[in-house]
Every structure is written in C-alpha cells, then in structure tokens.
Amino acid sequence: MIAAVLEKLGFVLAVVILLGLKMVNTQEAVTAFPDAVLLGFFLAAYKKTETPLAA
C-alpha cells in the first residue's frame, strides 16, 4: 500500500508542478484527478489499517 501511495503522490505532484510552470494546460492536468482521489483512498486505508509495533 505504501508503494501505491508513493506512486500516486509522485504523479499528482508532478502534474501540479508542471501546471504551475505552465508546461501543461488545465485539460491535461485534469487527468491527475482520479489519481488524487485514489491517493486519498489509499491514505485513508493505510491510516485505518495501521497496526502498532509488537509489544
């Protein structure tokens, strides 16, 4: 799950940076929206299933 979070985060950040630098237009940047939603879901699932270290 951590790998999925890192992959989605990397893509979303890259698109946001490219959008800020005006290297992609808004229509192209919208393609990152599903990945941002999945990132949120993965983070919520990770937070919910996080287990403490063995005592």
> Could you report the per-residue pLDDT of 28-51, keeping only the tens digit for each?
999 999 999 999 999 999 899 877
What's the average model confidence in pLDDT over 14-18? Answer: 97
Task: Give a yes or no: residue 20 inside a domain.
Answer: yes
Check: pTM over 0.75? Answer yes or no: yes
Compute the distance between CA of residue 38 and CA of residue 40 in angstroms, rounded to an integer. Answer: 5
Asked if residue 25 is part of any domain, the answer here is: yes
**Residue 28 falls inside a structural domain:** yes
How wide is the angle at C-alpha 49 spanned by C-alphas 30 and 2, nearest 5°? Answer: 50
Distance CA 12, CA 21 (A): 14
Does residue 10 form part of some domain? yes
- Terminal-residue alpha carbon distance, the chain: 23
In a domain, 54, yes or no: no
Q: Is the pLDDT reported for residue 18 higher than 70?
A: yes
Nearby residues of 35 by Cβ (< 8 Å), 6 or more positions away: 8, 11, 12
How many structural domains compose the chain? 1
55 belongs to a structural domain: no
Quick one: DSSP state of residue 15?
A: H
**Residue 32 domain-assigned?**
yes
Q: Does the pLDDT of residue 23 top 90, yes or no? A: yes
pLDDT confidence of residue 51: 75
Q: Over the chain, what is the mean pLDDT?
A: 91
Q: Which domain range does residue 38 map to?
A: 2-48
